[in-house]
Amino acid sequence: MSTNIANIRMARTLFQSASDHYYVLDNAAIIMPAISDRVATSLFRIALVLDRPVDLPILQRALANVAPRFPYFLVELRRGFFWYYFQPSRRPPTVIADLGSPCQGLDPRKDRGHLFRVRARGSRIACEFSHILADGYGGLIFAKTLLAEYFRLQGVPSAPAPDVFLPGTEPNPHEWEDAYHRYFRENWPHPDPRPRAFRPPSPALPLGQYRVLTGIFDLEAVREAAQSRDATVTELLTAALIFAYQGIWESLPPRVRKRKECMAAVEIPVNMRRFYPSRTLRNFTLFILPAVDLRLGPYTFEELVRIVHHRVALENDEREIARQISRNAGGGRNLLVRLVPLVLKNFFARLLYDSLGEGLITGLISNLGAMTLPAPLDERVRRFEFVPAPSRNLKTNLAVCSWKGELHVTFGSRARSREVERRFFSLLSSINLRARIECDADDPEPASRNPGAENPSGPMPSES
């Protein structure tokens, strides 16, 4: 069998059983149930804040109309003998109140229900998706489609847009393909090994608490600051994050540093659709991992920007990305691996995820980029919000998006300490990138209202 024919066969995720149909998990998702629980829920959040309060009955009608257009999301996770799989759900999704911390209250392995949910409160509509179902691209298309249907039911139709689907239309089969297998290359070299990464020490918040802190910047000012350093916005923010980790590392006693890992590494997810044509709304991201050895510091911020820029340029290459596909998708094609019972797969998946995933990472920064909506919906949305999924080991992660001239930089954290956020925003303030800081109301350690522009170890910048 040629590689191309095998790729097409392996990319299929929809199958018919004797009584019904079911979906298999994509290559990125197969490891997620094993590492997900009440702490690491795997939920990320895309929210839209409207210019008026949400009409809940109309939003429920919109959700009922839209959900069948995404049958591959309207599923429940089930456990087989060899693999997890998705079973179509016969329960209609319902809008729930947006109370408590975001991205909490789900254990994908134990809870029998949908792996996405729509929450609403005041003028906010929030869609929370498990990474077992989709990446940010797929979640964003669902959120936009839901918004368009909500306003259509209110008598406000929108202009056609390729990333807004029409309820009642037939899904394209490519929307649920496993694109990792479609673009698998046989005998391609695997990525080079990487060392384990440093983690800022901090006790965790109680179960169910997830602190969200957002800095809102002038987008053009951040772009100018990045361009003046021959960098992108993501590279600038990544360097600022590494600078924060460096400061925490250097604040530790020497005897503690000797016992700690010494690499500060930031994972930057890459939308693979940039490299490989695909219409899939399942997961199709991999990552680049710029890193510095903290034993070689201290680095200035300008040095870190240059280092991140060049390392991103080296890794953000189709041939380097293909090495990850070859490693990750290759295991699922091995007959011996496929015949291992699920209970053993779960055990080894957790070990593998630590050695090849989170164990190599200090933190994560995910940038959805510039948000767009067709007219006249763009006039009805005040802001977009993007919150990263909580992690058991990476207690603090970062999500970024922009809308109407504002850059929203959002930390999601399970750490009691806010040292990472404080050093990050203080550094940016010191280069004249001041943010309006917003934090959720149940933050156990309220931010100071004094600016910390000149001192990266000083208080947080002022809060709105």
What residue spans define the domains of the chain? 3-182, 211-375+386-439
pLDDT at 459: 41
pLDDT at 2: 62
pLDDT at 137: 98
Strand order in the sheet with 95-97: 95-97, 116-121, 124-130, 43-50, 381-387
pLDDT tens sequence across 134-148: 999 999 999 999 999
Question: Which of left, alpha, beta for 198 (phi over 0: left; psi -120 to 50: alpha)?
Answer: beta
CA 447 from chain centre, in angstroms, equals 25
Among 187, 186, 134, smallest CA distance to 26 is for 134
Q: Which residue has the tokens 């998990």?
A: 25
| Averaged pLDDT in 10-residue chunks for the chain of 464 residues | 81 88 95 94 98 98 98 96 93 96 93 95 98 98 98 96 96 97 93 93 95 98 98 98 97 87 95 96 97 94 98 95 92 80 86 83 97 96 97 94 98 97 98 95 41 37 36
Cα–Cα distance, 72 to 86 (Å, whole number)? 8
Cα–Cα distance, 288 to 365 (Å, whole number)? 11
Among 135, 150, 148, 140, smallest CA distance to 56 is for 150
For the chain, percent of residues with pLDDT exceeding 70? 94
CA 305 from chain centre, in angstroms, equals 23
| Domain 211-375+386-439 coded CATH 1.10.10.10 | no
Cα–Cα distance, 63 to 126 (Å, whole number)? 12
Same topology between domain 3-182 and domain 211-375+386-439? yes
Q: State which fold the 3-182 domain adopts.
A: Chloramphenicol Acetyltransferase (3.30.559)
Q: Which residue has the tokens 């829920």?
A: 41
Cα–Cα distance, 30 to 34 (Å, whole number)? 8
